[in-house]
Amino acid sequence: MSTPAAPVQIESRGPVDILTLARPQKLNALNVEMARTLHDYFSTAASRTQVRVIVLRAQGKEFCAGADLDSAVFASTGPGRAQRQLELQHLYSGLIRHMRACPQPIIALINGAACGAGFSLALASDVRYAAPEARMNAAYLRVGLGGCDMGAGYLLPRLVGLSVASEFLLTGRFMSAQRALAAGLVSEIVPAESLLDTGLALAEDMLKASPMGLRMTKDALNLAIDAGSLDAGLALEDRQQVILLGTADHQEAVAAFKQRRPPQYRDQ
């Protein structure tokens, strides 16, 4: 009997991890096994300091068609269903929480449809690139649920503003790659065959930062987006810079700049 293929493939390229959703026969729909694999990876990412950037992509023509509604978890009825569904909901929402909390920047490469859960995986990433044929929607609304799920109601308005977010969360309409670019949801539209190279090129630029500087920048962005005032944001940045000024990597970066050579960081 053959061993079932892993729902997520993880490839390490030095300081960059490439995570590939690997259920193309199911349009990479998110089932419990895939969700747990991603949840476990992102919830422990902080301990893997050798990994500095994460690239998230998918096999096949679609990024992720949403939650796998064929799963027995969704089909089961009877006593205890509400409790089972709440446990599943916590697994899915916890995945988004861990993606935002993990210190490594996440670059999403959206090659096709990103629906429902797939939309939220894209929203929870730090940078998004899209193929011309990419399209995204809050599919939750189209299956009798609320349009705000897996962080979509929190993340999308912060990325594109309340009016655009309301347009798509209240209708379940598909957002094309062109509309996503105009709204600032994706950074660039590139041919599908160039997505990985584009993502890795961005990762390479990120790796020019010191390891701790890169981690603290993502942390600062997460905190600043909800800062209560400019003064709160400035205070956060002040403390971050004082901490980083005391690192050996800062001294190395200054020396490398003066000597016109690449810095050799040691995360110290």
Which tokens is 221 given? 């962005």
- Whether residue 2 is predicted with pLDDT greater than 50 in this model: the reply is no
CATH fold of 8-206 reads 2-enoyl-CoA Hydratase; Chain A, domain 1 (3.90.226)
pLDDT digits (tens, 9 = 90+) for 188-202: 999 999 999 999 999
pLDDT digits (tens, 9 = 90+) for 194-240: 999 999 999 999 999 999 999 999 999 999 999 999 999 999 999 99
Extended beta strands in the chain, E state = 8-13, 16-21, 53-58, 106-110, 113-115, 127-130, 135-137, 175-176, 188-189
What is the rounded average pLDDT of the residues 88-115?
Answer: 96
- Give the DSSP per-residue string, 76-124: --STTHHHHHHHHHHHHHHHHHHHHHSSS-EEEEE-SEEETHHHHHHHT
Choose between 82 and 37: higher pLDDT.
37
Average pLDDT of every residue of the chain? 94
Residues ≥6 apart with Cβ < 8 Å to 245: none
Choose between 82 and 13: higher pLDDT.
13
| pTM listed for this prediction | 0.94
Domain ranges of the chain: 8-206, 211-259
Query: How sure is the predictor about 75, in pLDDT bands with cuts at 50, 70 and 90?
Result: low
Query: How sure is the predictor about 97, in pLDDT bands with cuts at 50, 70 and 90?
Result: very high
- Whether residue 1 is predicted with pLDDT greater than 50 in this model: the reply is no
What is the rounded average pLDDT of the residues 70-75?
Answer: 62
- Whether residue 53 is predicted with pLDDT greater than 90 in this model: the reply is yes
- Whether residue 76 is predicted with pLDDT greater than 80 in this model: the reply is no
What is the rounded average pLDDT of the residues 10-32?
Answer: 96
Q: What integer pLDDT is reported at residue 79 of this predicted model?
A: 80
State percent of the chain over pLDDT 90: 87
